[in-house]
Amino acid sequence: MIVAGVELGGTKVLCGVGTGPDDLEEVERIPTGDPDETLAAVAAFLAGRDVAAVGVGTFGPVELRRDHPRYGTLLETPKPGWRGVDLLGPLQAVTEAPIALATDVEAAALGEGRWGAGRGARRLLYATVGTGIGAGMLSGGVFVRGPGHPEMGHIPVARLPGDDFEGVCPAHGDCLEGLASGPALAARFGRPAEELGGEHREEARRLVAGYLAMGMAAWTYTAVPDRIV
């Protein structure tokens, strides 16, 4: 069965067609820019393709309740220009294939559970650390959600000794994401993490490791996963 996949990220969009990760017929990378232009490029990739289904994993937050009038709409996202954007409309206009929507971390959890490091786990939690910090969870192969999807990167964490950085999260300031994400490190040290050296690099490692350890402990106590990837 040939399917299409779309990963909508903060800096790039990856589109692919195939039967699985080891059988990709085509992959296209699209810069994440203006919403109309970006989604038009994704729609152009999908147009005319004979696929059984389309899976979309996106940055969020996004409305995932199928019975909600704003299903498929980005909510209070910090991504400039993308708040309130309908993700599914432009894609539904070019394909009759059913479209499944999830957050980017949920989609990654699904992939790891089926093909990767999460195989065999009954309760799998997948975490990502980059522009933001987030996690998606599967229990028995089903996404763990409530009225919305989990926002595990926005939990409060205790301050590490000597750390008085105010945080960069626009909603919470010094939540886990606000203290340990890529933008947090760039704001702390005045340059991206990959450009740090010497004492600054070691300090960045100490901070990220400490805060992620707190986050994973909280996730373990509350969500009780078999495995964290």
**138, part of any domain:** yes
Are 119 and 182 in contact by the 8 Å Cβ rule? The answer is no
Question: Do 86 and 126 fall within a single domain?
Answer: no
Question: Do 75 and 148 fall within a single domain?
Answer: no
Distance CA 20, CA 83 (A): 31
pLDDT at residue number 68 = 94
**159, part of any domain:** yes
**113, part of any domain:** no
**61, part of any domain:** yes
20 or 92: which carries more pLDDT confidence?
A: 92
Question: Do 15 and 87 fall within a single domain?
Answer: yes
Evaluate if residue 166 carries a pLDDT over 90.
Answer: yes
What does the mean pLDDT of the chain come to?
95
How many domains are contained in the chain?
2
Q: Which tens digit of pLDDT belongs to each residue from 125-163? A: 999 998 889 999 999 999 999 888 889 999 999 999 999
How far is C-alpha 127 from the chain's CA centre?
9
Overall average pLDDT of the 156-172 stretch: 94
Question: Do 30 and 81 fall within a single domain?
Answer: yes
Place of tokens 């901070």: 207
pLDDT at residue number 110 = 95
The CATH number of whichever domain residue 150 belongs to comes to 3.30.420.40
Question: Do 80 and 158 fall within a single domain?
Answer: no
Where is the domain boundary, 67, 97, 127? 97
Question: Do 145 and 50 fall within a single domain?
Answer: no
**140, part of any domain:** yes
- Residue 219's domain comprises 119-228
Question: Do 67 and 159 fall within a single domain?
Answer: no
Question: Do 78 and 126 fall within a single domain?
Answer: no
Where is the domain boundary, 97, 130, 158? 97
Overall average pLDDT of the 214-222 stretch: 97
Q: Which tens digit of pLDDT belongs to each residue from 31-58? A: 999 999 999 999 999 999 999 999 999 9
Q: Which tens digit of pLDDT belongs to each residue from 57-76? A: 999 899 999 999 999 999 98
pLDDT at residue number 8 = 95
Overall average pLDDT of the 207-221 stretch: 97
Are 47 and 56 in contact by the 8 Å Cβ rule? The answer is no
Question: Do 92 and 123 fall within a single domain?
Answer: no
Evaluate if residue 94 carries a pLDDT over 80.
Answer: yes
pLDDT at residue number 21 = 87
Query: 60-74: string of b/e by CB count within 10 Å (b at 16+)?
Result: bbbbbeeeeeeebbb
Question: Do 219 and 141 fall within a single domain?
Answer: yes
Question: Do 151 and 210 fall within a single domain?
Answer: yes
| String of DSSP letters for the chain | --EEEEEE-SSEEEEEEEEETTEEEEEEEEE--SHHHHHHHHHHHHTT---S-EEEEE-S-B---TTSTTTTBB-S-SSTT-TT-BSSHHHHTT--S-EEEEEHHHHHHHHHHHHSTTTT-SEEEEEEESSSEEEEEEETTEE--SSS---GGG-B-PPPTT------BTTTBSBHHHHHSHHHHHHHHSS-GGG--HHHHHHHHHHHHHHHHHHHHHHHHHH--SEE-
pLDDT at residue number 228 = 97
Question: Do 92 and 125 fall within a single domain?
Answer: no
